[in-house]
Amino acid sequence: MAFNGFSEETYRFFMELRYNNNKEFFHANEDRYRKFVRTPMTELVKELLPTMLAIDPGMDTRMMTIVSRMNRDTRFSKNKLPYRDHMWFGTRDIGKSVSECYVLYAEISPEGYGYGMGMWDGNREIMNPLRERILAKPNEFLELVNDKRLDRFIMTGDSYKKDKIKDAPEELKPYLNLKSIGFTYSSPMLKRTFTHEFKDEIEQAFIDLSQLYRFIKGL
């Protein structure tokens, strides 16, 4: 099969699940889920995989580790609804969980779609070596992070209240003080996800992000 886009049925399923978030509804509509949600998302990832591997050869290529499940882990959450009302994929390193990794990702929901790269919350194992690389190669980092091709992305990440490295150059402190760092793009234009061009859009975004991604990961 090939990725030919998502459809109105994809988002209709999400909306109906949002208002019928229970096992009875999901099981009764599992065929719809597989046809309009999981299958096209899996085909999308398969087509993007060669580009993602060229960016990061160390990523896990198993679909079960990249494509999200609909089931929510409710063990430690006050929200006990069993299913997500959206779908995403995210890369991870071999042998690691998503929460341990710097990832490329894309997501769809009834409100819109998005893609980019980032991490779950603060991650010292990623951020501490990154700060060392920024200090060692400040010009290279600033050139990458200010690349005009990344203008459509929003940089995300909470900052420490105090400088992590007090004597660092001022132009580097906004990055050195981050607890995490991500770059995200989002759009409410769901019709863009209805054709194969959606894959092309994500692929170009990952290519545009690739050099900064590799710097952040130390590749």
CATH code at 111? 3.30.930.20
**Number of helical (H) and strand (E) elements in the chain, helices listed first:** 9, 5
Instruction: Give the list of residues 6+ apart from residue 73 with CB closer than 8 angstroms, or none.
Output: none
Would you call 71 helix, strand, or coil by DSSP? strand
User: Do 199 and 47 contact (CB within 8 A), yes or no?
Assistant: yes
Query: pLDDT per residue over 81-121, tens digit each?
Result: 888 999 999 999 999 988 899 999 999 999 999 999 999 87
Instruction: Indicate the burial class of 106 (C-beta count within 10 angstroms; 0-12, 13-18, 19 or more).
Output: buried
Q: List beta partners, residue 104.
A: 117
98: left (phi over 0), alpha (psi -120 to 50) or beta: alpha
Q: CA 103: distance to chain centroid?
A: 6
Asked whether residue 91 is assigned to any structural domain, the reply reads: yes
How large is the average pLDDT for residues 182-192? 98
User: Do 124 and 100 contact (CB within 8 A), yes or no?
Assistant: no
Asked whether residue 2 is assigned to any structural domain, the reply reads: no
Query: pLDDT per residue over 59-77, tens digit each?
Result: 999 999 999 988 777 676 7
Chain length of the chain: 219
Of 214, 210, 184, the closest CA to residue 118 belongs to: 184
H runs (alpha helix) in the chain: 8-19, 23-28, 30-33, 39-55, 63-66, 124-136, 138-145, 173-176, 197-217
Task: Give the relative orientation of helices 138-145 and 124-136 as an angle to the nearest 10 degrees.
Answer: 110
The token pair at 64 is 């079960």
Query: Residue 208 to residues 135, 183, 193: CA-CA distances in angstroms?
Result: 23, 11, 19
pLDDT at res. 74: 67
Asked whether residue 3 is assigned to any structural domain, the reply reads: no
Residue 157 belongs to domain spanning: 8-217
Query: pLDDT per residue over 23-54, tens digit each?
Result: 999 999 999 999 999 999 999 999 999 999 99
Q: Percent of the chain beyond pLDDT 90? A: 89
User: Which of the four pLDDT bands, split at 50, 70 and 90, describes residue 217?
Assistant: very high
For 210, other C-beta atoms within 10 Å of its C-beta total 18
Number of domains in the chain: 1
Which amino acid, residue 196? H
Asked whether residue 1 is assigned to any structural domain, the reply reads: no
The token pair at 191 is 């019709």
